[in-house]
Amino acid sequence: MTELDPALAARIRLVICDIDGTIVRDDKNLSEATIKAVTRARDAGIAVTLISARPASGLGAIVRELRVKGAVGAFNGGTLFEAGGAVIEAHRLAPDDARRAVAMLDEAGVPVWVFADGLWLARDKDALHDDRERKAAQLEPTITRDFTPWLDRADKVVGVSDDYPLVERMENEIGQALGDTANVVRSQRYFLDVTAKVANKGDGAAFLAKAHGVPLDETAAVGDMPNDIPMIRRAGLGVAMGQAADAVREAAGFVTASNEEDGVARLLDLLVEARR
């Protein structure tokens, strides 16, 4: 871990955590160490909330297990909702952007998912990484060959492939095509997410800070993937996980341990100690 500025650490009142690769381990579960660290932070006056590329259904169990209070963010911050489930605001893809993203992914041969109306829509019941998505999203896929009926209200379009260079290339190509009106970024090496322009974690972190009544410079944002960089840069304290890619680590002011080593728990304990 790099050195943490004690004065900055002492100011932090809200920690905004990514989920996959960050607050959960690789098996998608919370460790006991992390659960206990969140409780210690809350007792010390430091709130912890969540922001994720997952749909809202994929945050509920973790929200309950951590006893998160207040607003949390799904779809990279495009949908904010109260921990109890009530939606605060939702920003969806423009229909033309959703259609173009699907068409470009289809043309490149990248399997596509669409999230809309609380559904996870897929063309194949045995889709790539579907077991991981079932666990993360807490949903079963709705199988359809035609996404058209949902593309005028899509929360997210996802390209799914283990051809990592292809996913990165599509991030660049779709980003160039839609960059003025959509947010196009990888949430995992094998997932490319296309969401509304404001459905990015930088704006999402700002929305969450406002909802929690905390200035951005008194927040910490923690993540591991390129889609976390906007919030890492905007928060008062940007934190990268130990296993994060170089670009994420370079954007951060502090690097904690990896998710497998309970990096979020270690960070929270450092913040609690700084407040003392």
Per residue of the chain (276 residues), what is the pLDDT tens digit? 567 889 999 999 999 999 999 999 999 999 999 999 999 999 999 999 999 989 998 899 999 999 999 999 999 899 999 988 888 989 999 999 999 999 999 999 999 999 999 999 999 876 666 677 777 777 889 999 999 999 999 999 999 999 999 999 999 999 999 988 999 989 888 999 999 998 899 999 999 999 999 999 999 999 999 999 999 999 999 999 999 999 999 999 999 999 999 999 999 999 999 998
What kind of architecture, by CATH, is found in domain 6-90+200-275?
Answer: 3-Layer(aba) Sandwich (3.40)
Fold category of 95-196 in CATH: 3.30.1240
Closest CA to 120 of 57, 51, 61: 57
Residue holding tokens 């952007």?
A: 97
Q: What is the pTM of this model?
A: 0.85
Q: Which residues contact 214 (CB under 8 A, 6 or more apart)?
A: 13, 14, 47
DSSP-derived 3-state class of residue 207? helix
Q: CA-to-CA distance for 99 and 151, rounded, in angstroms?
A: 6
Q: CA-to-CA distance for 215 and 209, rounded, in angstroms?
A: 6
Identify the H or E element spanning 14: strand 14-17
| 70 burial type by CB count under 10 A (0-12 exposed, 13-18 middle, 19+ buried) | middle
Q: CA-to-CA distance for 205 and 210, rounded, in angstroms?
A: 9
What are the residue ranges spanned by the domains of the chain? 6-90+200-275, 95-196
Phi first, then psi, for residue 145 (nearest 5°) are -85, -20
